[in-house]
Amino acid sequence: MKEVVVGLASCGIAAGGIQVYNKFSELLDAEKDETALKQTGCYGMCFREALVEIIEDSKRRTLYGQVTPERVERIVNEHLRGGKVIEEWIVKEEGQFLAKQKRIVLHNCGKIDPLDIGDYLASGGYQALKKVLSEMAPEQVIAEVARSGLRGRGGGGFPTGRKWESCRNAPSRNGTRYVICNADEGDPGAYMDRSLLEGNPHSVIEGMIIGAYAIGSSQGYVYVRHEYPLAVKNLGVALEQARARGLLGKNILGSNFSFDVKISRGGGAFICGESTALMASLEGKIGEPRPKHIHTTEKGFHGKPTNLNNVETWANVPLIINRGAAWFSSIGTERSKGTKIFSLVGKINNTGLVEVPMGITLREIIYEIGGGIPSGKKFKAVQTGGPSGGCIPERLIDLPVDFDRLTEVGSMMGSGGMIVMDEATCMVDIAKYFVKFLTEESCGKCVPCREGLDRMLDILTDIAGGRGREGDIELLEELGYAIRDTSLCALGGSAPNPVLSTINYFRDEYEAHINERRCPAGVCKELITFTIDKEKCNGCGLCAKNCPQQSITGKKKEAHVIDQTTCIKCGLCRDNCKFDAVVVS
């Protein structure tokens, strides 16, 4: 018996996974070929999607990458019917990509069918729930989670056990308590939570049921972005299946414990990832944060004790119950236990979803798992923690990744986005990009965040546009510290990070923009000019053909010239030149 498994998470679908799946189902005859066609979530190697895995006799597996509908026919004929593996299409990076990883939360992601609860049950799913309901008192569950040292994966890094305990012990007049799963993942370049919900929704649901039992809650919510249609769909199917099997609803698994989960879809406001703003939005109010002097574990959703955790945190819970706190705390560093999922994006060879033990160095993630920087360019910086994280320069690349060390160097763990930048990245431009994002996503309630970030963007735009003035760097720093100190919520409190960290580590770039009106990386359009090196140009005409402005002229086999008056500095000529003749200065 053979199995053909097609990766149909968002990354797979974007790479044409559905067409591949359809082609397989068209060509394969289930009985004649003795082949079952299945789908699964994200396997992590998004750079090789669409991925197709062929499993023979449930052990011999072959992983094909970048499969297109055209390639399906050959796979069916040669591999499935002929028994001959097509060597050139096998994903060769798999060993290198997985070697340094420790996939425990993502273990089933990319293996099981997210739409089939049977797959999850067969892989040991809901055993933790069974164990909790039959053997453990709620206090024991909390003690176990506390002992494991699990810290919130949404960015704050608050000890999960302590949060659960304070929620359980918070007074509630009619005993109502809520648990919420925060799946409002809005960071540019981050998709850990989406992949988990798409690829293994049951692990999150199981974690929530265990948490609800420990805290004493009977109603849970998953606040998920409306922009994640597949995650919403898979989660909805998973909830239905769990209900049908008595894993959700009244008297779960014959116990006295009842609990159910509702899905609430967010409208796409970044600020609604903040716990109090999320609860306001869930209540149907404007999604804006409130001061947290009284914690949400005491007064949260509808004024009741509410425990909010991130998708990844919830998915860690069944593992801790199954394998024990001692096992979990054996992974990681002294104060950050377990693993962390990162979405590795940007200028890196192996773009994808990686799960690594805490304490691994950035070098290992970038060079060993990520496979280094494409086209031989030099690594410059890595931005961790989403838009409000900081940029970590090359000299700190041996930094072990955990909550406290990242905070020490002016960045943060955040929810786990990791954007790698090469030498062709301008740090002023990057800071400008993130501040622009945060200016648009600020709720606008408090002055430092709303007006401060807006003025910060003005100054950065001026610097990038060659209108920077002496004292601008100091003004940015002064403003940055004031915003960080005085903002109402964590969005404003961390928003100046990209600016402050780039000033800290790349001050010379800011100075070059201001004093010399020069962009060292050749990115800021108003400060650069494109010219053609007459020595190198052989007059192939490729640049002229691709120029959207028709600014490039020249005779065949003679050096071409760029008309500076009409050039819009799009850089297409440089990208297309095969002889490196286009020079940016």
Contacts with another protein, 43-82, as mask; x by CB under 8 A: ----------------------------------------
- What number of other Cβ atoms are within 10 A of residue 196's Cβ? 30
CB of 460 to another protein, least distance (A): 12
Asked if residue 431 binds another protein (CB under 8 A), the reply is: no
CB of 518 to another protein, least distance (A): 22
Asked if residue 187 binds another protein (CB under 8 A), the reply is: no
**Which residues on adjacent β-strands are paired with residue 222?**
181, 263
- Of residues 463 through 522, those in contact with another protein by CB under 8 A are 469, 475, 478-479, 482, 485-488
Asked if residue 440 binds another protein (CB under 8 A), the reply is: yes
CA 274 – CA 518 distance, rounded (Å): 38
Phi, psi angles (nearest 5°) of residue 242? -65, -40
Asked if residue 298 binds another protein (CB under 8 A), the reply is: no
What is the DSSP code string of 321-337?
A: HHH-HHHHHTSB-SSSB
Closest CA to 262 of 275, 248, 246: 248
CB of 298 to another protein, least distance (A): 12
Task: Provide the 3-class DSSP secondary structure of residue 577.
Answer: coil
Among 458, 526, 563, 575, binds another protein (CB under 8 A): 458
56 versus 451: smaller Cβ distance to another protein: 451
217 versus 388: smaller Cβ distance to another protein: 388
CB of 496 to another protein, least distance (A): 12
201 versus 480: smaller Cβ distance to another protein: 480
Asked if residue 446 binds another protein (CB under 8 A), the reply is: yes
162 versus 290: smaller Cβ distance to another protein: 290
Among 32, 293, 555, 578, binds another protein (CB under 8 A): 293
CA 339 – CA 328 distance, rounded (Å): 9
CA 353 – CA 198 distance, rounded (Å): 13
- What number of other Cβ atoms are within 10 A of residue 506's Cβ? 22
Helical ranges in 360-464 per DSSP H: 362-363, 403-408, 427-441, 447, 453-464
Say if CB 373 and CB 379 are below 8 A apart.
yes
Asked if residue 171 binds another protein (CB under 8 A), the reply is: no
CB of 585 to another protein, least distance (A): 28
Q: Could you tell me which stretch among 127-135, 253-261, 446-454, 574-582 binds another protein (CB under 8 A)? A: 446-454
Asked if residue 408 binds another protein (CB under 8 A), the reply is: no
- Of residues 5 through 44, those in contact with another protein by CB under 8 A are none
Say if CB 416 and CB 344 are below 8 A apart.
no
82 versus 267: smaller Cβ distance to another protein: 267
Asked if residue 443 binds another protein (CB under 8 A), the reply is: yes
**Bond preceding residue 495 cis, omega within 30 of 0:** no
447 versus 568: smaller Cβ distance to another protein: 447
Give the 3-state secondary structure of 78-109.
HHHHCCCCCHHHECCCHHHHHHCCCCCCCCCC
CB of 146 to another protein, least distance (A): 23
Asked if residue 286 binds another protein (CB under 8 A), the reply is: yes
Q: Could you tell me which stretch among 121-129, 133-141, 213-221, 438-446 binds another protein (CB under 8 A)? A: 438-446
**Which residues on adjacent β-strands are paired with residue 249?**
259
Among 30, 90, 137, 447, binds another protein (CB under 8 A): 447
CA 119 – CA 200 distance, rounded (Å): 10
Q: Which two tokens stand for residue 420?
A: 């790698």
Q: Which two tokens stand for residue 295?
A: 């914690």
Asked if residue 439 binds another protein (CB under 8 A), the reply is: yes
Say if CB 473 and CB 510 are below 8 A apart.
yes
CA 533 – CA 541 distance, rounded (Å): 14
Among 310, 336, 388, 442, binds another protein (CB under 8 A): 442
Q: What is the DSSP letter of 378?
A: P
| Residue 256: Cβ-neighbour burial (10 angstroms; 0-12, 13-18, 19+) | exposed
Query: Which residues neighbour 453 within 8 Å (Cβ) at sequence distance 6 or greater?
Result: 435, 438, 439, 442, 483, 492, 495
Q: Could you tell me which stretch among 130-138, 192-200, 411-419, 453-461 binds another protein (CB under 8 A)? A: 453-461
458 versus 526: smaller Cβ distance to another protein: 458
How many residues are there in the chain? 585
Say if CB 192 and CB 228 are below 8 A apart.
no
CB of 514 to another protein, least distance (A): 14
272 versus 532: smaller Cβ distance to another protein: 272
130 versus 445: smaller Cβ distance to another protein: 445
| Number of residues located near another protein, criterion CB under 8 A | 33
Contacts with another protein, 216-255, as mask; x by CB under 8 A: ----------------------------------------
CB of 283 to another protein, least distance (A): 15
Task: Provide the 3-class DSSP secondary structure of residue 306.
Answer: strand
Asked if residue 271 binds another protein (CB under 8 A), the reply is: yes
Q: What is the DSSP letter of 51?
A: P
Q: Which residues bind another protein (CB under 8 A)?
A: 269, 271, 286, 290-291, 293-294, 439-448, 450-452, 454-455, 458-459, 469, 475, 478-479, 482, 485-488
